[in-house]
Structure 1
């Protein structure tokens, strides 16, 4: 996502990466969800979209362990694995960016917390370049925004999270979707 601006190679000529990732619906006690604004700097104009906290699973990590680590790195919030509710949902997503095509097998978790001041001190160099904004969204804001949000069915996931919190179980299988700045 940091390729120089210019002609974008066709999908077959871009590197392809496969990974497993954990995504966390981080919802505060005011019923707001935390999202980060991300970007593909290899395109002009630069496209932006909003994402939940989360990222790739490191070698040897368990799912819950990775989700907790990602929350700490991306938000500064330290939590225990037992604080996570889920898994809520799984999906495979294909992301076509200007410099890479990523196929990501994602697991979604819920983390309820008190409102807190987000710290981005744990962001990687790439995250510092591309994730330049964060904010807490109400349901009404999420449902009425015209801005791009990934996953596109985040409102549905949030409803599933409410059901899981209320004791209803079951993991949603969301299938395979594409969310891309450069379609594959």
Structure 2
């Protein structure tokens, strides 16, 4: 488990969503994103824990990943985001997928946002200790809203009381452990 310093109280905007968030035809902020379901040698999944700046009481666990930059492939974005958010380097050829895709509509930073996401599966080859991760590549939004990185046993994850994104992640990972059939599955919200 890796934790960060306590989040400061927020009384007004301290930053804005990044430039990759553009207004869609319906006025909702939109971006394409790539995410990584990273598993260790014990089939535990690495998740981030965070909240929104204006709803600190609501928190959730989510996979590593973020926005795809202009001209960047989803696979390259997944590798880059994994490194920026954890300090873990993985060769893009070692990613499986995309195994899942979804369109997520959510509130974040006082705005409704839509994100078209693809999920890749990756294996972590290093030490799973807390000192294995780095926050050096975090954006200000990540510093303000993420307080923990944690390896989750799939049974514990299935029993978690807090929100986890994507929904039913433990069940989804169990399905992938049997092998991926080459089909990108569409997930609900």
Scaled by the length of structure 2, the TM-score of the pair is 0.80
Q: Is residue 12 of structure 2 the alignment partner of residue 4 of structure 1? A: yes
Determine if contact 1:94/1:101 at 8 Å carries over to the other structure.
yes
Q: In 2, distance between residues paired with 1:20 and 1:75? A: 20
RMSD over equivalenced CA pairs, Å: 1.8
Scaled by the length of structure 1, the TM-score of the pair is 0.82
> Which of 155, 162, 168 is 1:153 aligned to?
168
Q: In 2, distance between residues paired with 1:96 and 1:156? A: 25
Partner of 1:70: 81
Secondary structure of 1:132's counterpart equals: strand
CA deviation vs aligned residue, 1:57-89 (integer Å, no higher than 9, x gap): 001100110000000000101111101001101
> Which of 95, 107, 126 is 1:96 aligned to?
107
Determine if contact 1:3/1:99 at 8 Å carries over to the other structure.
no
User: Where does 1:129-168 land on structure 2 (aligned, <5 Å)?
Assistant: 129-163=144-178, 166-168=179-181
Determine if contact 2:64/2:82 at 8 Å carries over to the other structure.
yes
CA shift for structure 1 position 171? 1.3
Partner of 1:112: 123
Partner of 2:54: 42
Determine if contact 1:3/1:98 at 8 Å carries over to the other structure.
no
Determine if contact 2:158/2:171 at 8 Å carries over to the other structure.
no
* Unaligned stretches of 5+ residues in structure 2: 1-9, 14-26
CA deviation vs aligned residue, 1:152-173 (integer Å, no higher than 9, x gap): 121232123223xx35221111
Partner of 1:8: none
Partner of 2:65: 54
Determine if contact 1:88/1:160 at 8 Å carries over to the other structure.
no
Report how many aligned residue pairs link the two structures. 163
CA shift for structure 1 position 92? 0.4
